[in-house]
């Protein structure tokens, strides 16, 4: 067994186990850390696929941004545990039935498909062509999206500060 195959199985197991922790954890902080490890393992799978730009984007945007934002949101809220217990009564039977139905459909698709194997030529990195496109051909949309995200961040901070002053 090659190192790439072993790395694939280890990263896949980490992603699935961490996703299970994120799904079934009773603590929101433990769920956030499960999400962190799951997203980091997916970034590792992107590295194995030689999609270096997508792997770095996964780490920066999802692991570095979304999970940290989620943790800050959890840690900075003033809700007590008793306030959150009102949402504990969920229809679990319906969720289990729907989850098993989706799992059955996905497994039937995966097991019924033919998976041809072919030798893959040596791939080169993807960062240089994507960086060239972002800074040459798509500079205006790239800058527009960064400006939009900055405005959304400033607006969210303003809304939070104005709500704190009202209380």
The CATH architecture assigned to 1-78 reads Up-down Bundle (1.20)
Predicted structure pTM score = 0.64
Count of CB atoms situated within 10 Å of the CB of 41:
20
Instruction: Give me the residue spans of the domains in the chain.
Output: 1-78, 137-167
What string of pLDDT tens digits covers the 167 residues of the chain? 888 899 999 999 999 999 999 888 887 778 888 989 999 999 999 999 888 888 988 998 888 888 777 777 777 766 554 555 555 566 778 888 999 999 999 999 999 998 888 777 776 777 788 888 888 999 999 899 989 989 988 888 888 776 666 66
């Amino acid at each position: 067994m090659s190192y790439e195959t072993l790395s694939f199985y280890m990263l896949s197991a980490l992603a699935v186990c961490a996703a299970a922790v994120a799904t079934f954890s009773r603590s929101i902080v433990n769920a956030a850390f499960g999400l962190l490890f799951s997203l980091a393992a997916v970034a590792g799978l992107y590295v194995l696929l030689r999609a270096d730009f997508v792997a770095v984007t996964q780490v920066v945007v999802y692991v570095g941004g979304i999970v940290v934002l989620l943790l800050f949101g959890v840690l900075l809220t003033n809700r007590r545990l008793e306030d959150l217990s009102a949402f504990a009564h969920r229809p679990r039977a319906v969720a289990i039935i729907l989850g098993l139905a989706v799992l059955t459909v996905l497994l039937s698709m995966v097991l019924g498909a033919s998976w041809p194997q072919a030798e893959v030529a040596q791939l080169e990195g993807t960062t240089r062509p994507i960086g060239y496109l972002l800074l040459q051909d798509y500079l205006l949309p790239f800058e527009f999206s960064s400006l939009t995200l900055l405005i959304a961040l400033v607006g969210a901070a303003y809304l939070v500060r104005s709500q704190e002053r009202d209380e």
